[in-house]
Chains A and B, each alone.
Chain A
Amino acid sequence: ETGVTQSPTHLIKTRGQQVTLRCSSQSGHNTVSWYQQALGQGPQFIFQYYREEENGRGNFPPRFSGLQFPNYSSELNVNALELDDSALYLCASSSLLGPDTQYFGPGTRLTVL
């Protein structure tokens, strides 16, 4: 176990709705990255948060947004859900100023109907 926790484990939404996913980072880690993993594919980088600010972003539209809190936990928000947003959403924590190893949580399975 990595110490990275995510909630909820599963979520079902309908197209057009909004969703918030949560992540608690491993103790001592100040950086959280979010990934989207579609079925049968590798994780795709969404963005990273460091010191409560977005610190890099992949090829995802602005309706994917996030927050990081002073305790380094993080939220991923997705607005105007589309069917293609159905995926496993993973967060990974790391220490930006230390070893660059990222440790992943178990993920949140989002289904958009």
Chain B
Amino acid sequence: GENVEQHPSTLSVQEGDSAVIKCTYSDSASNYFPWYKQELGKGPQLIIDIRSNVGEKKDQRIAVTLNKTAKHFSLHITETQPEDSAVYFCAASRKTSYDKVIFGPGTSLSVIP
């Protein structure tokens, strides 16, 4: 069935360093890949997304890359700050008659001041 794997499950970085989270997906028909940040006690918040016709997208300190051939996509956060500490989820979906989004298991990111 459809599956999204995510690594690492936990990540600890020094403030100012970069953080990279990697995901793979199984459904080759997936064409939309959002990333969500979830803080304690809150719902997931969309931070960036990428579609299958694009290989890379950047928004300030956050960038995502997509390799459709290998079914890999990654999140890069540069110049990390303590407020970046949260759980990050990658996800995949295909635009069909409904928007079923498959989430990865999450990465707990800790940024140490």
Contact = CB atoms under 8 A, between A and B. Distances in A.
Nearest to A9: B41
A101 B97 contact: no
A33 B105 CA distance: 19
A25 B67 CA distance: 33
Interface residues of B, number: 26
Interface residues of A, number: 27
Interface in B22-74: 32, 34, 36, 41-46, 49
B105 A102 contact: no
A42 B97 CA distance: 23
Contacts of B100: 33, 45, 48, 56, 58
A56 B95 CA distance: 12
A100 B32 contact: yes
A72 interface: no
Given A96-B98, A100-B99, A42 B89 contact: yes
Contacts of A96: 98-99
Interface of B: 4, 6, 32, 34, 36, 41-46, 49, 89, 91, 93, 95, 97-106
Interface of A: 2, 4, 31, 33, 40-45, 48, 50, 55-56, 58, 90, 92, 94, 96, 100-107
